[in-house]
Amino acid sequence: MNLDFQLRSSISTAISSLFNQTIEQLQIQPTNAEFEGSHTLVCFPLAKISKKGPEQTATAIGEYLVANSGIISRFNVVKGFLNLVIADKVWVEVFKSIYADKNFGTLSSNGKELMVEYSSPNTNKPLHLGHLRNNFLGYSVAEIYKALGYTVHKVQIINDRGIHICKSMAAWKLFGNGETPQSSGIKGDHLVGKYYVEFDKNYKAQMKELMEKGMPEAEAEKKAPIMLLAIEMLQKWEAKDNDTVQLWKTMNGWVYEGFGSTYKRMGVDFEKLYYESETYLLGKEEVLRGLEQGVFFKKEDGSVWVDLTGDGLDQKVLLRADGTSVYMTQDIGTAILRFKDFPKIEGQVYTVGNEQEYHFKVLFLIMKKLGYKWAEKCYHLSYGMVDLPTGKMKSREGTVVDADDLMQEMVDEAQKQTRELGKIEDATEKQIKELSEMIGLGALKFFLLKVDPKKRMMFDPNESIQLQGHTGPFIQYTHARIRAIVRKAESIGVKPGESELVQVTSLEPAERDSIFMLNNYINKMNEAARDYSPAVIANFAFDLAKGYNQFYQTIPIFNESDSAKLKFRIAFSKVVADVLKKSMKLLGIEVPEKM
């Protein structure tokens, strides 16, 4: 049953009958929580055609709907707002249609394709807390679009070349003594990150020494021996020096193996990987083509630039004087390659922190100037930094919150709390481990996703793991509670049938409110997709779980003597659990059957 369509149709009929007018755009919004009703019609714009005041217009429409629509039981008017109360029998019909739809919450293919990029790390350090928010956001946006019928291609660009990896390579060459992940027992990405920190420590010491000898700071930055070695290695890499390329391949290989295990635990995946080392040359060719066409210009030192001052931006370098490329060059090449690889995609979504907002404005504008119409289909999913009570993270100083360590801490804390609650005495160690993994990672993901991506946020590990409050474990516990109710119902032979559900003619407020939320699920999915915001789904799941708990606390389900109502409430509980599971799955979060 499409309640929204029926409601709009009934209101349109009322306006036509009462005022002999038609209106194409109706302003219908959720009713303010302090007033009775679920849907509110804004009547101020209708006063022009009714020739009445907004309140009189609202009253006239409300009276007509109660008398003629068959779906409105009563109404109230607050100034020019008509708050409508949907009849219980209608809510029962709405629920019945949801219950009967085995694929509720998953739409059939719409024939459209979308690409979502996320993660996109540098290969000189392990993934950290910021990468967790990035991966969870990108993965969730991809899953939301998939549920809405899109074919989604999940990709990442791996920044595997440049001075950053050469810094780790230089430090390893100077201080590594042949150390490997196997010889040290250190995970590959952590080992390479260790030498990135080692580089920074020695670089600062060498700069200090040069400055104490009277060298200006700007000159010391360039002439510190370890920096000169890193620059030399970058030049050798670009010249395809065999020894340098082999070391680069070896150390990147360590990193990829480390990343792989981290991604597996995160629960994210990718269809295709792009590498900067393979795309920057394509970008370089495109820049030279743009130079020939007059889209770009060359300065006296030989560097190539784009002038965007006429577009309210500034001038941006695309090729350095020595002919080497910059990040923008690589991104130009990557964008072109992706549309060649996947020509049917509607657009590309780049999940990258908000410190790169200017970069993507420039990138999309450059692509447009180069004549690529699909540039308008590119979107930067910008997100805010994740703060901690301990302050800002710095990779080169080794003060980042490592993703692997944080995930393990969350799982350990979940196991500790689970054991303290004493509700898993009959579980095996394997089951306890699996449940702890589910709760710990669910808590982490939910906390990072429940905040609008655009907002900077504070991550509080202790708050995120709580069973009560705006947390993932609260929703997981609600799901487990409902599954226990359904199992009990099955054990006593209570099995709801679709035909029996309509025998219920009245609902409790908590039931009505939850059915309203269930009916709004697809709308919330569309809103989350439109805004590229998994927070919409996270908060929907929390509200649904909270609403069900209010129902559970006020209505003793198994004390119900009316067989039809008992079966309805079991069916209602099952659907809530199913939708909680589906909505959490869109966030990459599993929910337990028992907890």
**What's the pLDDT at 398?**
46
Q: Would you place residue 397 in the very low, low, confident or very high pLDDT band (cuts 50, 70, 90)? A: very low
Q: Output 358 or 425, whichever has higher pLDDT.
A: 358
How much is the CA Rg of the chain, to the nearest whole Å? 29
Task: Please tell me the least confidently modeled range out of 76-90, 281-295, 349-363, 410-424.
Answer: 410-424
pLDDT digits (tens, 9 = 90+) for 211-230: 999 999 999 999 999 999 99
pLDDT greater than 60 at residue 77: yes
Tell me the average pLDDT of the chain: 93
**What's the pLDDT at 399?**
54
pLDDT greater than 90 at residue 422: no
Nearest to 123 by CA among 278, 284, 250: 250
Give mean pLDDT, residues 262-287.
94
**What's the pLDDT at 595?**
85
φ and ψ at residue 162, rounded to 5 degrees: 115, 180
Q: Is the dihedral of CA 459, 444, 548, 532 positive or negative?
A: positive
Q: CA-to-CA distance for 591 and 539, rounded, in angstroms?
A: 16
Give mean pLDDT, residues 305-314.
96
**What's the pLDDT at 418?**
84
Give mean pLDDT, residues 285-303.
96
**What's the pLDDT at 501?**
76
Q: Would you place residue 327 in the very low, low, confident or very high pLDDT band (cuts 50, 70, 90)? A: confident
Q: Which residue has the tokens 């291609």?
A: 153
Percent of the chain with pLDDT over 90: 85
3 state DSSP class of 21: coil
**What's the pLDDT at 505?**
86
The domains of the chain, with CATH numbers, are: 3-86 (3.30.1360.70), 121-279+341-387 (3.40.50.620), 405-586 (1.10.730.10)
Q: CA-to-CA distance for 50 and 60, rounded, in angstroms?
A: 10
**What's the pLDDT at 142?**
98
Task: Please tell me the least confidently modeled range out of 4-13, 393-402, 532-541.
Answer: 393-402
Half-sphere exposure of 132 (CA within 13 A, CB side): 25
pLDDT greater than 50 at residue 393: no
**What's the pLDDT at 423?**
67
Ramachandran region, residue 161 (left: φ > 0; alpha: ψ -120 to 50; beta: rest): beta
3 state DSSP class of 401: coil
Q: Would you place residue 427 in the very low, low, confident or very high pLDDT band (cuts 50, 70, 90)? A: confident
**What's the pLDDT at 274?**
95
Give mean pLDDT, residues 378-392.
83
Give mean pLDDT, residues 184-205.
96
